[in-house]
Structure 1
């Protein structure tokens, strides 16, 4: 019998992270789930669950002594919420990298990162460039297995409202069918589906080792496993 895994989740109270924590604690493949959260985890109760304050300045200290198998990162903000480009970069690059380094030091073999469509370290768009730099720097850490998820517009209920996403959600039934060919990867996707894809990728024997990038159709497939 395979020994149950230990996972750490950053961004545990966000749109994707909250779904992911629920899925992992319900999955017999996981015996322990360490959730980094900045507010209480509502409606999630399990003896498998351990919560930690989301202080990524002390990520390595907080994970010291943990023996991780998988690290899931659904951490992210917007420039508007962060208040400035520098503050956005601190969350979407520096904190993610700090979590990844701490997870690697704690033995994690698999790292699963939520990024975004258009991510490129050479992009002229600040948001996309930061996302790309984060992907690049996580790759450089040398995890045995790295999964990068690049969703388009994320759909679902958030604790904080994002007006652009609300407008996009209303238009999704009309826009998604029109997004074909190269635009298909930009189709809207529910946060729960991305969470399911992360769980599916982590447990897939066919996706062990190496770096894997997942866009819309791949995520929808992994979410159904």
Structure 2
């Protein structure tokens, strides 16, 4: 095989892929969906969510599902890559227990089922400070999920831990709006730049690029590293 044939084989391998997305109506997930639909390497994008995305596209295959009854639909989690951007807040969830169910259980069980179905690559948006040993509920939750998915049999796993997420949300979050404003000011101080807010679309781009660029294994991208993906 000559160099040109080898390049063609590699390029062909990257085309005609099917991506799976959960959390496609959220801030990062909506950008992941948009970018995948516009990417010629993908012929199908399968979305699993509790409500419709409202998006119409020839490549979009939308499934409205109940995450409490995953046995009814987990056989549909087939494709080449899984992108997980599902998440909520305690205010939206109503309790820490319910937030844990959405942020940890639903994402982990979806990833587990996809891996068992032969999906090869997985990208997860986590959070800055994620640490399974943290005393803070949210960062502990995120850290536990990062550690749990590490054991799943994907060929490639990428975890992105962004700082404040910037972008237009469907729901208003005053605390995050104030946090982003303050972060823009304080991250101009030398040594704090890595904590600068990042646009959700950039995180989505990083998730997709990470699965194309990274070799087999488990990879974590912290804060400002995401800007370079």
Q: CA shift at 1:58, angstroms?
A: 3.4
TM-score by length of 1: 0.90
For the 8 Å contact 2:17–2:44, the answer to whether it is kept is: yes
Match of 2:217 in 1: 210
SS in 1 for 2:73: helix
Match of 2:205 in 1: 196
SS in 2 for 1:142: coil
Q: Does 1:177 align with 2:188?
A: yes
Q: Matched residues in 1 for 2:113 and 2:44: separation?
A: 17
Q: Matched residues in 2 for 1:200 and 1:156: separation?
A: 20
Match of 2:67 in 1: 56
Bigger Cα displacement from structure 2, 166-175 vs 30-39? 166-175
RMSD: 1.7
Bigger Cα displacement from structure 2, 28-37 vs 54-63? 54-63
Q: CA shift at 1:52, angstroms?
A: 1.1
Q: Matched residues in 2 for 1:84 and 1:132: separation?
A: 19
Match of 1:22 in 2: 34
Q: Matched residues in 1 for 2:219 and 2:94: separation?
A: 32
Q: Matched residues in 2 for 1:127 and 1:93: separation?
A: 10
Cα deviations by residue, 1:38-78 (Å, 9 ceiling, x for unpaired):
33323x32211011124223345424155311000001111
For the 8 Å contact 2:23–2:86, the answer to whether it is kept is: yes
For the 8 Å contact 1:60–1:105, the answer to whether it is kept is: no
For the 8 Å contact 2:74–2:110, the answer to whether it is kept is: no
Unpaired segments ≥5 residues, structure 2: 1-11
Match of 2:47 in 1: 35
Q: Matched residues in 2 for 1:8 and 1:61: separation?
A: 17
Cα deviations by residue, 1:141-166 (Å, 9 ceiling, x for unpaired):
13211100001111111111111111
- The runs of 4+ residues in structure 1 deviating greater than 4 Å are none
Unpaired segments ≥5 residues, structure 1: none
Which of the two has higher C-alpha Rg? 2
Cα deviations by residue, 1:93-140 (Å, 9 ceiling, x for unpaired):
111111101211221111101110111111111111111111111111
